[in-house]
């Protein structure tokens, strides 16, 4: 049986086609979406869990060495890995927040897959993480359907990362393919996410149109200008219908991070002064919330950086604010700050003002944020999205008849107006903000695996 699988940066979802109708499939209890998160007692527990409880073996010599090392480490630490040790989705986040210092927590692994320069161990660790998440989803899908699922079309962005070009894309797709194979999928295809979103929109058209599809995902944004309509429905060869493509490693996470940086981090000492009157270094305030940057997170949570933070606090005019930053370090709270920025972004799509709330151990910080402030905060990533639209139009040399916009951050009036300001007076349509890509992948799977 075949399914469309959106292994997203923020959430994952799966759907199939029944009587030509898209059917979302429960992947987390009764829910058809699951957050792209994993929590385990330690990193080594992931590799041992795959082997011990799912009988999923490594596919490489490096993987075998990593597994043996993981088993030895867990044995030495007295950790007997049981199935309940690995949590996914909301359950993973809830467990992590109980004691952030005591768990291994991964959010949005898709953001890391295109980073070039990974050594073989890091590559294999990412593969294990993705495999564990995919295997969990596949088991839940098969439980929901009561059928074996071994064929899938997996969505992918135009570009997984801003640096590395096609080499980065090949690496990321290889990790996804190997992880999916180990998870039990026997036949795997990939489709561009904006093309998939366009396929779902195409099913609603009664005449042929040139449609600019803008997909603003959690970690990437993609644009495609596509000829679509009744003439193209059901065709596997769509080469002539794809007029222009552009994609970048900028998405909803970047909007959240920039909003947190500009609107929240002053409460932790950003833009404050030292006793000497000189400004405090800005980098630590960015690194602690750059949750989609492996190097930044590793740098912030290093022991060397802890000493730097303590030195900054002792030299600060406002040491209490720096104490908050040290609490972020101690309790690994960067994810929580960005999550509150996401909540603020969503609230401001429907209201002019919102009071954000960041919970620390001894206090709650309430921060009022307006739509105008958010617009200033997310200016840079929004400009990058506008650039993608311009690049796609320049490739296509065709003016779209309409715009189809999808992805969670597409709800934002700021983002919608920014796109419209580039394209001009073209109607904007939207379907399911978070389900269009999955639905299109299901349609493509139904076509591929007939």
Q: What is the pLDDT of residue 26?
A: 96
Q: What is the pLDDT of residue 120?
A: 92
The answer on pLDDT for 397 being more than 90 is yes
Residue from 319, 320, 325 nearest 305 by CA: 325
**What tokens were used for 270?**
């950003």
Give pLDDT, residue 248: 86
Q: Pull the structure tokens for residue 262.
A: 């500009």
For residues 270 and 357, give the distance between their C-alpha atoms in angstroms, rounded to a whole number.
Answer: 18
Give the residue from 59, 82, 73 showing the smallest Cα distance to 128: 59
Closest CA to 440 of 189, 219, 133: 189
Confidence check: pLDDT of 97 > 80? no
**Which pLDDT score, from 0 to 100, does residue 94 have?**
87
Output b/e per residue, 129-146; b: 16+ Cβ within 10 A.
Answer: bbbbbbbbbbebbbebbe
| Spatial distance between the Cα atoms of 195 and 156, rounded to a whole number of angstroms | 10
The model carries a pTM of 0.83
Q: Please report how the helices 120-145 and 43-54 are oriented relative to each other, as an axis angle in degrees rounded to 10.
A: 50
Give the per-residue pLDDT at 277: 94
The share of the chain scoring above pLDDT 90, in percent, equals 75
Separation CA 79–CA 59 (nearest Å): 25
The rounded distance, in Å, linking the Cα atoms of 292 and 381 is 14
For residue 159, what is the DSSP state?
-
**194-251 confidence digits (pLDDT tens):** 999 988 889 889 999 999 999 998 888 999 999 999 999 888 888 889 899 898 888 8
| Measured distance CA(10)–CA(8) in Å, rounded | 5
- What is the pLDDT, as a whole number, of residue 312? 96
- Could you read off the pLDDT of 154-190 as tens digits, one per residue? 999 888 886 778 899 999 999 999 999 999 999 999 9
Give the helix/strand (H/E) hosting 105.
strand 104-107
What is the average pLDDT score of the chain?
92
For residue 431, pLDDT beyond 80: no
Spell out the domains of the chain, with CATH numbers in brackets: 2-185 (3.30.420.40), 208-250+380-430 (3.30.420.40), 253-379 (no CATH)
- Give the list of residues 6+ apart from residue 234 with CB closer than 8 angstroms, or none: 447
Q: Where are the beta strands (DSSP E) in 157-266?
A: 187-192, 209-216, 221-228, 242-248
As a whole number of Å, the CA-based R_g of the chain is 22
Number of Cα atoms under 13 Å in the Cβ half of residue 136: 30
Closest alpha carbon to 250 in 294, 277, 217: 217
The Cα–Cα gap between 196 and 154 comes to 10
Both tokens of 59, joined, read 């596919």
pLDDT in tens, 240-268: 898 998 988 888 889 999 999 999 999 99
Segment 118-122 mean pLDDT: 89
- Per-residue pLDDT tens digits for 262-309: 999 999 999 999 999 999 999 999 999 998 777 888 899 899 999 999
Residue 294: what pLDDT? 72
Residue 107 confidence class, pLDDT cut points 50, 70, 90? confident
Residue 100 has pLDDT above 90, yes or no: no
CB 161 within 8 A of CB 168: yes
**The predicted structure's pLDDT at residue 269:** 96
364-370 and 209-216 beta bridge pairing: unpaired
Dihedral sign, Cα of residue 104, residue 58, residue 10, residue 264: positive
Pairing of strands 353-359, 242-248: unpaired
Average confidence (pLDDT) over 101-127: 89
Distance CA 209, CA 246 (A): 19
Strand partners, 11: 35
The pLDDT confidence band at residue 411, using thresholds 50, 70 and 90, is confident
pLDDT in tens, 24-73: 999 999 999 999 999 999 999 999 999 999 999 999 999 999 999 999 99
């Amino acid at each position: 049986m075949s399914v469309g699988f959106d292994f997203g940066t923020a959430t994952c979802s799966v759907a199939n086609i029944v009587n030509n109708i898209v059917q979302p499939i429960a992947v987390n209890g009764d829910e058809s979406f699951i957050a792209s998160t994993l929590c385990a007692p330690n990193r080594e527990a992931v590799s041992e869990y795959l082997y011990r409880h799912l009988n999923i073996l490594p596919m490489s010599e490096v993987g075998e060495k990593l597994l043996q090392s993981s088993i030895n480490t867990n044995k030495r630490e007295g950790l007997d890995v049981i199935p309940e040790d690995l949590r996914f989705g909301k359950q993973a986040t809830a467990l992590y927040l109980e004691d952030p210092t005591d768990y291994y927590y991964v959010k949005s692994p898709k953001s890391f897959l295109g980073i070039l320069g990974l050594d073989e161990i890091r590559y294999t660790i990412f593969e294990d993480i993705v495999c564990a998440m995919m295997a969990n989803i596949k088991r839940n899908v098969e439980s929901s359907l009561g059928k074996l699922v071994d064929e899938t079309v997996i969505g992918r962005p135009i570009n997984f990362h801003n640096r590395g070009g096609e080499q980065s894309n090949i690496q990321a797709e290889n990790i996804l393919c190997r992880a999916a194979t180990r998870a039990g999928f026997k036949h795997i295809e990939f489709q561009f996410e904006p093309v998939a979103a366009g396929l779902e929109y195409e099913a609603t058209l009664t005449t042929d149109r040139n449609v600019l599809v803008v997909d603003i995902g959690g970690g990437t944004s993609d644009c495609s200008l596509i000829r679509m309509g009744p003439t193209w429905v059901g065709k596997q060869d769509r080469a002539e219908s794809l007029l222009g493509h552009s994609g970048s490693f900028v998405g909803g996470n970047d909007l959240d991070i920039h909003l947190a940086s500009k609107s929240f981090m002053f409460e932790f000492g950003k833009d404050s002064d030292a006793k000497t009157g000189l400004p405090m270094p800005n980098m630590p305030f960015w690194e602690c919330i750059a949750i989609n940057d492996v190097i930044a997170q590793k740098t912030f949570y290093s022991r060397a950086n802890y000493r730097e933070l303590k030195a900054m606090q002792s030299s600060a005019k406002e040491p209490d604010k720096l104490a908050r930053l040290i609490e972020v370090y101690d309790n690994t709270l960067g994810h929580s700050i960005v999550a509150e920025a996401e909540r603020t972004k969503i609230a401001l799509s429907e209201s002019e003002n919102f009071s954000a709330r960041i919970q620390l151990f001894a206090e709650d910080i309430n921060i009022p944020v307006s739509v105008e402030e958010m617009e200033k905060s997310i200016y840079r990533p929004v400009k990058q999205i506008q650039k993608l639209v311009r690049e796609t139009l320049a490739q296509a040399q065709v003016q779209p008849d309409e715009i189809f916009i999808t992805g969670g951050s597409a709800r934002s009036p700021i983002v919608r107006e920014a796109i419209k300001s580039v394209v001009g007076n073209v109607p904007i349509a939207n379907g399911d903000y978070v389900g269009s890509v999955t639905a299109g992948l299901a349609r493509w799977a139904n076509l591929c695996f007939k």
